[in-house]
Amino acid sequence: MAEYKIKVKKSCDAESCGFRCQEACPRGVFLAVPAERHKEKQSIYPRHRITPRFSYFCDGCGICIPICPSQRIKVVLKMTGEKILKKPLANK
Ligand code: SF4
Ligand code: SF4
């Protein structure tokens, strides 16, 4: 199976979009982690960002790319460096 490299910008604010990519990925690639590394910096309503923790499960379907409201996800075919691009969905 082809291998893919996934990048998610650290500016991801998962609560603001409702963890869309994590919900949509059929391969369970994404993991939500606390946005602040230090406990004392976290508010009583902690924020999370998404990481591609299980990227080895990615099959390059591209579903996650148009789903992100802020274009924070990039998927690249490792062997050739080819960027996976999917057309924006009609209903975001
Ligand atoms: S390209 Fe498909 S399998 Fe890969 S992370 Fe995105 S939604 Fe998941
Ligand atoms: S869809 Fe975009 S903003 Fe929402 S959790 Fe995923 S990367 Fe973050």
Q: How confident is the model at residue 92 (pLDDT cuts 50, 70, 90)?
A: very low
Which among 32-36, 42-46, 70-74 has the top mean pLDDT? 70-74
Domains of the chain: 4-84 (3.30.70.20)
**pLDDT given for residue 87 in this prediction:** 59
Residue 17: CB within 6 Å of ligand 2?
A: yes
Percent of the chain with pLDDT over 70: 87
Cα 43 to averaged position of ligand 1 atoms, centre (Å) = 31
Residue 72: CB within 6 Å of ligand 2?
A: yes
> pTM for the whole thing?
0.87
Q: How confident is the model at residue 55 (pLDDT cuts 50, 70, 90)?
A: very high
Q: Where are the beta strands (DSSP E) in the chain?
A: 4-8, 31-34, 48-51, 73-77, 83-84
- Give the ligand with the smallest distance to the CA of 13: 2
Residue 29: CB within 6 Å of ligand 1?
A: yes
Q: How confident is the model at residue 91 (pLDDT cuts 50, 70, 90)?
A: very low
